[in-house]
Amino acid sequence: MKKMMLALLICSMARASAFAQEQASAPAQNAQAQNASVQDAKMAEWMKLASPNENHQYLEPFVGSWTHTVRWWMDPSQPAQESKGTSENHWIMGGRFLSQEAKGESMGQPFEGMGITGYDNVRGEYTSIWIDNMGTGMMNATAQYDSATKTFSEKGSMACPMTGEKDKHFRSEWKIVDNDHYTYEMYTNGPDGKEFKNMEISYTRA
């Protein structure tokens, strides 16, 4: 009988010890579970923000091969200069960015340029850069899209080699006319400080 009572006492003590250990470790386990849940949520949000969505698809009409006609003005009092060229637009980085490559002629010289445009899910706006062989700076712009007019309205700045301005501001509009046509118009300030149309480009699908 004494041996049985001793065995029961030992078992009770072992159970109590195990229960105490479980109670002591429970907060740590709960904290680990909560941390894992938070990390999973953060990872899911990151993947969502890092993935293309319907905003990127608004750029799809620009994809393809195009011929284009450029008209541009040094200032509003001067006649427009005109040139022609070709453009190739395609998706890169898994549909996250639209790459644009243009070739043609400008002021009697061979012209080449390229741009990258995408939708920044974090900032909630379109962003773009443009470089070409007519300068050594980068044009930077941000834009919003109006689905009613199928127009991307941009605002940006550039270093202008013609005027020497280090931060010349401009606004521009990309407008989808139909499946086979779109236009680009740029506006900037003239010598008198008033805004005028500096450039217009008409694109036709090749």
Measured between alpha carbons, how far is 105 from 82 in angstroms, rounded to an integer?
9
Q: What is the pLDDT of residue 2?
A: 47
Sign (positive or negative) of CA dihedral 159, 150, 116, 56: positive
- The predicted-structure confidence for 152-190, as pLDDT tens digits, reads as follows 999 999 998 888 889 999 999 999 999 999 999 999 998
Q: What is the pLDDT of residue 163?
A: 83
- The predicted-structure confidence for 88-141, as pLDDT tens digits, reads as follows 999 999 999 999 999 999 888 999 999 999 999 999 999 999 999 999 999 999
Measured between alpha carbons, how far is 180 from 8 in angstroms, rounded to an integer?
88
- Any bridge partners for residue 199, and if so which? 72, 186
Average confidence score pLDDT of the chain: 88
Q: What is the pLDDT of residue 170?
A: 96
Q: What is the pLDDT of residue 157?
A: 97
What residue segments make up the domains of the chain, in order of their start?
Answer: 1-50, 55-205
Q: Which CATH number fits domain 55-205: 2.160.10.10, 3.90.226.10, 2.40.128.20, 2.60.120.370?
A: 2.40.128.20
Retrieve residue 80's tokens: 């427009």
| pLDDT over threshold 80, residue 9 | no
Q: What is the pLDDT of residue 14?
A: 52
The pLDDT of 54-67, averaged and rounded, is 98
